Amino acid sequence: MRARERGARVKIAGALDALVRASRSGAPTARLAANLRGAWLEHGDLAIEIRPSGLIVDGRLAVPADAQAARWALPAFMVGARTLALAPPLEAPDLERFAEALARLEVEEESLRAFGDWLFEDGAEGLAVELHASFVEVLEHAEAAFDAARGVRAARGAAALPTGVTQPIAAVELDRAALLPELGVDIARYADDARARRFELTGADLRELEDGASDPAAWSRAELRAVLELPALRSLADPHDVSRRLLAWLRERVEAPALAMVTGLLGADDAAGRRVAAALDPRALAGAILEGLRFEMPTEELGDLLAVAPAPLARALLHGLLAEASRRADARYFLTQLAYSWPPQRWVEVWAPDAIEPEQARALTRVLLGLGLDALLGDALEALPAESAAAALEAMDPEQLPAHERAIERLASQGDAGVSTLVGKMTGSTAPQVRSFVGELLRRHDTLPWEPREFSRACRHLALDESGRDVLVELSRSTRLDTRLRVSALNALRGDPERQRRASAWRLRELMEPPELRAALKRIRQTSASAALEEA
Amino acid sequence: MSRAAVVHELYVAMRAATRYGRAHPSTEAAATRLAEAIEAASPPFALQLVGEAVFADRQLLPLDLDAHRRAMEVARAAHALQVHELSFSVTPSRSEAAALAGALADGARGREGALEELLLRSIGWREIPQADWGEESQEVDPEIFAVTQVSLAVADAAGLGSHGEWRWSKGLAIVRRLERALASHRVAAERTLEANDLPWTLARRSVSAARLAENALSLLRLPSSARRATVHAALMIAASGLRERGGLPLEEAAAAALDRALAAAPPRGRISPHRVRAVALLRALAADGAGDLPAAKLVALTYRVERDRRPEGASFDLTKVDLLSAAAADETVDGAWLRLVINAEGVLPPGARVVLSDGSPGLVMGPGDPMDAWRPSVLVAGRVVIPDAPVRLGGER
């Protein structure tokens, strides 16, 4: 190891001692702890040995103990602490807490016991402390060992154990035990099973038990439930730690108890609950819920949460759900179910429609239609941005569109191209009221930049009834309409010679019409004349 | 004057005797001060020089670094004389104090047996076997260590009671002792609890439940935090739920343990990860049976075993193998955890009553033939033997 690196490692021990001294004197420790953390993480393999004489690094005395420096080394050694090493993740506050505990340490039995308990209880988070027997335990052992030695000699056969156990065993006792129904002792069966090796564990069994018993997520969930459900713990909890664990749980899997906990926290009237609720960032919480949500779960708990959630949280959740619903049928179904447990006016309160994307709008429309909330849908369409409103309308059946005339009118008056698509969609309906609505729409908005193909299809659709053909006559003669569209309207009248004649009747104004229209009119008139001649 | 001052004066007198000899005025003056210090410390009392610490009447003496260094010089001299405890029944005379200082000076020079030549009225001394243990724990007989730790754990558990706030420190001490005992000598630890004819007190059953959990978990590679919390929870439920015979139903026992756990305020108002974890286990058992915490199933099993050990409505106690048989026949017991327990304890655990091939009854003391679980080491008529032929269980026909 190079001298420079060795020096850096020695400095880490010095920095730890400096942190302890700062903590003892009440000086600020945050910066010292952060620096120590950074330096120690750079030398992750460093283990600081503790001896009464001081701190040892790489086999050398790095910080000699005296009345000031490494004063804590002796009591820590007495507790049984031998080495300190990193056990990441390590945060600066972990080091501050550790230094605080060392600063309080005195060569006094109660202080030593408390520190030893704290270490054994994993209080030194982020650090691995090698813990031997404390001096007090050494004495206890020494005092008790004599009797133990006698017992061990007996067990090894050097002397008889207490006489009771050497008496013949009363089989009658076992028979009586077997008769107790709650015990159901069946020695013979146990022996048979044991001889048949039915109690053996496979490697897979062991791994399963190991995985289950050490599953950090399961522990974290159980601890979180304990902390949040038991007021005695809740008042002691670190709100940020609780918040972090709660988010981790939700991210992994949204379960009813977790949602119920969040709901309880948002409505908590105790100071501790409010502290934790304040530590929950709405966006992060919504993100965690959306990440861990499985759409097969019941919706009641999420509905309860949405009912009390502050608007930013409810909004983020709603938008996230809508985004999922735009992609997945199960999410759509989930959202529909959810809406049953959530008052409709809440949607309007929280949803911030101006931020709803077209895909979300489609999903929202399907959900609201599924719920039969047409009125709410009307409000929604008016509040959505034009592109999203168009997308929402597209998600409807053509027969439903005339009921949302206001929304379509708004789009049309804004010159939104989506109206063309809507018209095209409506041409798929044979319902007279839909056709009539299309006609009115085309007539009222003849200045719109209609998409030619959709317009042409709409014209053919209008040609199917009398009133529609009247509209076509109007359209064909409208000078505000694009020439290609007027030609489409004219062409659509092909099956109605009378109206076609009206549409193509010569006017002085025709001289100012674009050539292609004039050509089309001329062609129609010629065709009409030929037809008349043939007829004559 | 404190008893720490006695240690200081012992050091000064020993150094004076080492440097100037016993008869020198400086040594006599130091001996006088030693005698005065002993008088001021109100005899009778005893100093224990054990490991690297000094105790007065088994209470750790609060020494600063320099005082500790001086005390260790005295301790090293005393240990060289095979002495670990100095007792002062009354105030010694100056000559007695000087004689003690001189003997310690001899010890410091490596002269063994210096104290044996003395006959002092006011000062006694003795060797405490195992007292040099500490740093060199590997030199301690592991069996003796395991037995000692288990015995101390049972003694600690006697102070836990079944009501009132949970004594976390004592509970932790028991968990720590069991952990070390099992790491040192698993079979001795088990035998100490299981194979003796002392009564099955609540303390013994509580420690037995915790040991069962520790023993089973020691077969798994688990973080120590998960293992310790599980063992502690097993201890808490057993201590709170077991009764002289039988015990409360599991959920009630867990609820009682939970109440006790929460009644104890954490030090400095900050709850440790261990406490949170142990409480989470108790809450899961009290509220959901076991919830989704697999370790809770083991705690439930250990409680069941110790509750049934002294069944209600019966006048006898069951052995471990009876209890495991009963659990094996019960479909409500989690099979995987039970198999783990049986593997950890052995199909014939210590304390099992067996019958040898010649019909003589015996008591299993531990593993015997490594290739045949049915030939364990057995206590028969005062001798521990490994039988030639497989044994059968006492209850087998």
Give contacts of B326 with chain A, Cβ < 8 Å. Answer: 183-186
Contact B33, B1 (CB under 8 A): no
Handedness of CA A301, A302, A304, A309 (dihedral sign): positive
- What count of Cα atoms within 13 Å lies in the side-chain half-sphere of residue B189? 29
Give contacts of B342 with chain A, Cβ < 8 Å. Answer: 194, 199
d(CA B228, CA B216): 12
Q: What is the pLDDT of residues B5-32, one digit of tens each?
A: 999 999 999 999 999 988 899 999 999 9
Kindly determine whether residue B393 and residue A187, on different chains, have CB atoms separated by under 8 Å.
yes
d(CA B326, CA B320): 10
Does position B267 have pLDDT exceeding 50, yes or no?
yes
Contact A254, A294 (CB under 8 A): yes
Letter string b/e over residues A348-358, b meaning 16 or more CB atoms within 10 A of that residue's CB: eebbebeebbb
Contact A310, A344 (CB under 8 A): no
Cis peptide before A398 (omega within 30 of 0): no
A305 CA to centre of own chain: 14
Residue A320 has which token pair? 């996230």
Owner of token pair 């000598």: B185
Kindly determine whether residue B64 and residue A182, on different chains, have CB atoms separated by under 8 Å.
no
Q: What is the pLDDT of residues A388-408, one digit of tens each?
A: 889 989 889 899 899 888 889
- The per-residue pLDDT for B131 is 65
* Distance set, CA A470 to CA A485, B67, B225 (Å): 16, 115, 85
Residue A51 has which token pair? 């001896």
Residue A124 region by backbone torsions, left for phi larger than 0, else alpha for psi between -120 and 50, else beta: beta
- The per-residue pLDDT for A158 is 34
Q: What is the pLDDT of residues B35-75, one digit of tens each?
A: 999 999 999 999 998 878 889 988 888 888 889 999 999 99
Give contacts of B58 with chain A, Cβ < 8 Å. Answer: 139, 143
Classify strands A47-51 and A54-57 as parallel, antiparallel or unpaired: antiparallel
d(CA B79, CA B82): 5
Nearest chain B Cα distance for residue A169, angstroms: 7
Residue A514 has which token pair? 């674009």
* Helices and strands: H and E segment counts in chain A: 30, 5
Phi, psi at A51, each rounded to 5°: -135, 160
- The per-residue pLDDT for A81 is 93
Sheet containing B45-50: give its strands across. Answer: B59-60, B53-56, B45-50, B85-88, B123-126
Nearest chain B Cα distance for residue A203, angstroms: 11
**Closest among B338, B254, B259, B323 to B289, alpha carbons compared:** B254
d(CA A315, CA A295): 19
d(CA B9, CA B29): 11
Chain A contacts in chain B segment 263-322 (CB below 8 A): 266-267, 269-277, 279-281, 283-284, 291-295, 298, 308, 311, 313-314, 316, 318, 321-322
Contact B167, B264 (CB under 8 A): yes
Give contacts of A137 with chain B, Cβ < 8 Å. Answer: 176
* Distance set, CA A266 to CA A16, A297, B279 (Å): 40, 21, 24
Which residue does chain A place closest to B275, by CA atoms?
A121
The residues, any chain, with a CB within 8 Å of residue A197's CB and separated by 6 or more, are none
Nearest Cβ partner of A232 from B262, B267, B274?
Answer: B262
Question: Which range, A49-53, A495-499, A506-510, has the best average confidence (pLDDT)?
Answer: A49-53
Contact B22, B98 (CB under 8 A): yes
Contact B329, B335 (CB under 8 A): no
Per the DSSP assignment, residues forming a β-bridge with A61 are A56
The percent helix, strand, coil of chain A (3-state, each to 5) is 70, 5, 25
d(CA A425, CA A439): 13
d(CA A174, CA B322): 8
Phi, psi at A150, each rounded to 5°: -65, -45
Chain B touched by A397 (CB under 8 Å): no
Compare B50 and A184 and report the one with higher pLDDT: B50
- The per-residue pLDDT for B153 is 93
d(CA A506, CA B218): 103
CB under 8 A, 24+ apart: contacts of B161-166: B161/B239, B162/B202, B162/B239, B162/B240, B162/B241, B162/B242, B162/B243, B163/B240, B163/B260, B164/B260, B164/B263, B165/B260, B165/B263, B165/B264, B166/B236, B166/B257, B166/B260, B166/B261, B166/B263, B166/B264
Average pLDDT of span A166-186: 52
Which residue does chain A place closest to B229, by CA atoms?
A121
Q: What is the pLDDT of residues A216-259, one digit of tens each?
A: 888 988 998 899 889 888 888 888 888 888 898 899 889 888 89
pLDDT bin (cut points 50, 70, 90) of residue B245 is very high
* Least confident range of A153-167, B75-89, B354-368: A153-167
Residue B142 has which token pair? 């592991």
- The per-residue pLDDT for A63 is 94
- The per-residue pLDDT for A508 is 75
Kindly determine whether residue A157 and residue B383, on different chains, have CB atoms separated by under 8 Å.
yes
DSSP letters of A509-520? GGGGS-HHHHHH
Q: DSSP 3-state assignment of B340?
A: helix
pTM beyond 0.80: the answer is: no
Q: DSSP 3-state assignment of B317?
A: coil
Q: Would you state the torsion angle of the CA atoms of residues B29, B34, B38, B39, taken in this order, to the nearest 10 degrees? A: 10
Sheet containing B383-385: give its strands across. Answer: B383-385, B377-380, B361-366, B353-355, B392-393
Does position B341 have pLDDT exceeding 90, yes or no?
yes
d(CA A314, CA A376): 18
Chain B touched by A175 (CB under 8 Å): yes
Q: What is the pLDDT of residues B135-187, one digit of tens each?
A: 444 456 788 888 888 988 999 999 998 889 999 999 999 999 999 999 988 88
The residues, any chain, with a CB within 8 Å of residue B247's CB and separated by 6 or more, are B238, B241, B253, B303, B306, B307
* Distance set, CA A193 to CA A58, A189, A198 (Å): 54, 6, 5
What percent of chain A clears pLDDT 90, i.e. is strictly above it?
Answer: 21
pLDDT bin (cut points 50, 70, 90) of residue A360 is confident
CA-atom Rg of chain A in angstroms: 41
Q: Which amino acid is at B186?
A: R
Average pLDDT of span A170-174: 50
Q: DSSP 3-state assignment of A325?
A: helix
Q: Give the count of Cβ contacts less than 8 A between chain A and B.
A: 324
Does position A40 have pLDDT exceeding 90, yes or no?
yes
d(CA B339, CA B318): 19
Kindly determine whether residue A145 and residue B353, on different chains, have CB atoms separated by under 8 Å.
no
Helix (H) or strand (E) holding A490: helix A483-492
Give contacts of A112 with chain B, Cβ < 8 Å. Answer: 60
Compare B386 and A335 and report the one with higher pLDDT: B386
- The per-residue pLDDT for B273 is 87
Kindly determine whether residue A174 and residue B322, on different chains, have CB atoms separated by under 8 Å.
yes
- The per-residue pLDDT for A209 is 94
d(CA A189, CA A280): 56
| Alpha helices for chain B (secondary structure H) | 3-20, 25-40, 65-80, 94-108, 142-158, 168-184, 186-194, 202-217, 224-241, 250-263, 273-288, 294-309, 320-328, 335-345
d(CA B209, CA B300): 10
Helix (H) or strand (E) holding A50: strand A47-51
pLDDT bin (cut points 50, 70, 90) of residue A364 is confident
DSSP letters of B137-159? GGGS-HHHHHHHHHHHHHHHHHT
Kindly determine whether residue A135 and residue B58, on different chains, have CB atoms separated by under 8 Å.
no
**Closest among B219, B171, B218, B211 to B306, alpha carbons compared:** B211
Cis peptide before A282 (omega within 30 of 0): no
Compare B257 and A342 and report the one with higher pLDDT: B257
Average pLDDT of span A283-301: 88
Give contacts of B272 with chain A, Cβ < 8 Å. Answer: 118, 121-123
* Least confident range of A7-11, A284-288, B109-113: B109-113
- Rounded to the nearest 10 degrees, the angle between the axes of helix B186-194 and helix B168-184 is 120
Q: What is the pLDDT of residues A53-104, one digit of tens each?
A: 999 999 999 999 988 899 999 999 999 999 999 998 888 989 999 999 999 9
Kindly determine whether residue B330 and residue A145, on different chains, have CB atoms separated by under 8 Å.
no
